[in-house]
Amino acid sequence: MGRTIITNIIRFVALIFIQTFLLKNMGFYNLSIPFPYILFIMLLPFETPNWLLFLLAILTGLTVDSFYDTAGINAAACSLLALVRVIFINVTVERQGFENEPEPRLGIMGFRWFFVYTVVLTLFHHLTLILLESFGFFDLKYVLIRFLLSSLFTIFLIIISEFIFFRKKER
């Protein structure tokens, strides 16, 4: 339990640091901005209580909002991400499997499950984030291009980072 908490604190600090200091101004003509900080919420253990999951999601979003000078947009997107995570895990993972598979990682759950999990959660997060940021459907073409490119860039970074820290299943 203590090791899981320390690992998640280190993961939180590292991902927020990478997001705010390395990737904040990195983008492709403001069309593709990566948001790999959502990996913190995605990799929380399965047994994390929902109240704690939503609290951590809001705090993660507010932390990023404080660096990006956005008024709660990331917090709202992270809250939706937490909700979609709960629904996705309830639909796809058996409750009895929590002892064998403690967290949703690539090495534990397999590539296909983790890829679908990453794509679904990233798409929901980015659609919410970009729609709230643009605050309407005025330039729908720009919003859709930005949504797709940012999602692809984020998914690519998440999958690459999971392969870097890949560990085989222990069964």
What pLDDT, in 10s, does the model give residues 81-111?
A: 999 999 999 898 876 555 556 788 888 888 8
What local confidence, expressed as pLDDT, does residue 168 receive?
A: 61
In the chain, what percentage of residues exceed pLDDT 70?
89
Under the banding of pLDDT at 50, 70 and 90, the label for residue 71 is: confident
Phi, psi of 169 (to 5 degrees): -60, 145
- For 105-142, b where at least 16 C-beta lie within 10 A, e where not — what string? bbbbbeeeebbebbeebbbbbbbbbbebeeeeeeeeee
Reported pTM: 0.88
What local confidence, expressed as pLDDT, does residue 171 receive?
A: 41
What pLDDT, in 10s, does the model give residues 132-167?
A: 988 866 788 888 999 999 999 999 999 999 988 776
List CB contacts of 127: < 8 A, sequence separation 6 or more.
147
What local confidence, expressed as pLDDT, does residue 73 receive?
A: 94
Judge whether 86 and 57 are in contact, CB under 8 Å.
no
